[in-house]
Structure 1
Amino acid sequence: MNLDVISSSAVTGSTQWHVGPLSRHFPLVVPDLLFFGGSTTRSDRRSEKFQAESIVRLVDQLGIKKFNVVGTSYGGFVAYHVARACGGRVLRAVIASSDVLKGEEDDRMLMERAGAEDVVDLMVPGSTGTLRKLIGLTVYKSPRFVPEFVLRDFVQNIYKTNLKEKVELIKAISLGNKNEFQLTPLSQDVLVIWGDHDRIFPLDKAIKIKEKLGEGARLEIVKNTGHMPNTEDPTRFNELLLDFLMNDPKPSIL
């Protein structure tokens, strides 16, 4: 049975995935990305490519020969790099809510939607007010009321822990830098999953990504969800994952 490696977005893996239905079919590895949860490094490298290299080293240490890789948001950047680096070892790749075609213009438009001045401040919020803005952009239906102390606790325990390193992670994203990164089709079949009301990475980017990834990519849109279809509609999200991953994969083109 193939192992399924799941890469989270910018929070801990345990809060991102409803793994019960998946674990009945696959042995799972759900790593926290570096500087989230208990994951850390002595290296001063911060790019999503380095995160991917760390995932590959973990897989090697576990003695895993073949696996699927799944990532959402920033974790989707990492999943893309893992699939590209590992070739035939990765049977299939899932990239969810992850604008691997992101550029400076996308950041500018995000700031306009958020009414914010800086991407880093928005994505690593240092105040409850900024966190409320981020939540409003992230989910399709914002909760009517979230107590201030809950948001304050979230800022303190999720974002301010390893704050310096998390800021460096955002600044070191290589996507959009044509000297460092070019999006190319993957050798694996790829599933792109997107919420139809994603305001972090709008749906039109998903369509462009699917086209850019080539004939081996397909796009599935989860209705009535925003940037987090994996948590807003986990039943549908997991149905799409299992349908994609449990069909016999086509031979990889090396």
Structure 2
Amino acid sequence: MCRCFSFTESKNWCYRSAFARSGLQSTVTDLQDGTHMHCWVPKHPNHSKPNLLLIHGLGANAMWQWGHLVPHLTPHFNLYIPDLVFFGDSHTTRPDRTESFQAECVFRVMEAQSVRKLSLVGLSYGGFVGYSLAAQYGDFVEKVVICGGGVSMEEKDLSEGNFFRVSDLEEATKILVPQTPQMLKKLMGFTFFRPLLLGLLPSFFLSDFIHPTLIIWGEHDQVFPLELAHRLKRHLGDNAELVVIKNSGHVFFVEKPKEFYKHLKSFLLDPHPNLIKHTSMAQNHN
């Protein structure tokens, strides 16, 4: 009997093949507490390369968000790409749902892989996890890149409707973790700058944070609006650089991948990043 075609499984197969060709292998780490973490790791780590942790945002799994960048990054870095708990092939029986718990799980996987130092990039929700990881395990993390992750958001931003176009935390959760095609469409409406993309779909540790940090944001981000990026930059001061990707939304890494990669590579590979640069100067480079 012929099996039905699955677009999702087909795409997963393509990404798995691409990751394998890039020198990565799939691993699952048992954390011995009811938690199992899936992570893509180098088959043969090159100790002359820096280690880079890529933390995905909300979505099916890590491959879907990092697949297009992996071939460009593997020549320069030892890549570690986990599925966060509750995504992809990572799961737990523990009741904890916080980004602090996610950060702890990722750290324990890196320990199991004998990683002692790394830089990290966090997309959207992954920015929350990455920020928490750097705050909890400061000596372990070298450089941090926060991409559209509203870590400076306060509860009043939702309740007062200052930024997010929903006024209720429960409603925000429903949008950011969509359970229906309708809610997925709504999320995509917030996520992309150009609404026509909807047609493609079927029916504060802040003051103590001392890591060199690159903040990258989409100019028209409607999930975590640009003001949150400026707020984070103000909190982090001269230790952070803000780059705004013009004419893009929350998923600027999909809409403007070449520009995203350019800034990422420059910051992570420059041994002496110029973090005194003002926000306006960073924007003028785009």
Query: Letter of the aligned partner of 1:98 in structure 2?
Result: G
Query: Letter of the aligned partner of 2:220 in structure 1?
Result: H
Listed as ranges, the gaps of 5+ residues in structure 2 are 1-48, 274-286
Listed as ranges, the gaps of 5+ residues in structure 1 are 152-180
2: CA distance between counterparts of 1:110 and 1:119? 14
Aligned-residue offset at 1:46: 1.1
CA, structure 1 residues 50+223, in 2 after alignment: closer, same or farther (shift >3 Å)? same
Match of 1:6 among 48, 54, 59: 54
The residue that corresponds to 2:156 in the other structure is 105
1: CA distance between counterparts of 2:242 and 2:162? 22
2: CA distance between counterparts of 1:220 and 1:133? 26
Query: Letter of the aligned partner of 1:145 in structure 2?
Result: G
Aligned-residue offset at 1:135: 0.7
Q: Secondary structure at the match of 1:126?
A: coil
Larger radius of gyration: 2
In the alignment, is the contact (CA less than 8 A) between 2:52 and 2:80 conserved in 1? yes
The number of residue pairs the alignment matches comes to 219
The residue that corresponds to 2:172 in the other structure is 119
2: CA distance between counterparts of 1:67 and 1:182? 20
Q: Structure with the greater relative contact order (CA < 8 A, sep ≥ 6): 1 or 2?
A: 1
The residue that corresponds to 2:102 in the other structure is 51
Q: Does 1:207 align with 2:259?
A: no
TM superposition score normalised by structure 1: 0.80
Aligned-residue offset at 1:188: 1.4
Aligned-residue offset at 1:111: 8.9
Match of 1:136 among 164, 174, 189: 189
Question: Runs ≥4 in structure 1, deviation > 3 angstroms?
Answer: 114-117
Query: Letter of the aligned partner of 1:16 in structure 2?
Result: Q
Q: Secondary structure at the match of 2:152?
A: coil
The residue that corresponds to 2:65 in the other structure is 16
Q: Which region of structure 1 is more displaced relative to structure 2, 16-25 or 69-78?
A: 16-25
Superposed CA RMSD:
2.0
The residue that corresponds to 2:216 in the other structure is 193
Query: Letter of the aligned partner of 1:2 in structure 2?
Result: P
Query: Letter of the aligned partner of 1:113 in structure 2?
Result: R
Q: Which region of structure 1 is more displaced relative to structure 2, 87-96 or 235-244?
A: 87-96
User: Equivalences for 1:214-233 in 2 at 5 Å?
Assistant: 214-233=237-256
TM superposition score normalised by structure 2: 0.71
Q: Which region of structure 1 is more displaced relative to structure 2, 2-11 or 138-147?
A: 138-147
Aligned-residue offset at 1:214: 2.3
Match of 1:146 among 194, 200, 206: 200
Q: Which region of structure 1 is more displaced relative to structure 2, 33-42 or 110-119?
A: 110-119
In the alignment, is the contact (CA less than 8 A) between 1:210 and 1:218 conserved in 2? yes
Q: Percent identity?
A: 35
Query: Letter of the aligned partner of 1:41 in structure 2?
Result: T
Aligned-residue offset at 1:104: 2.2
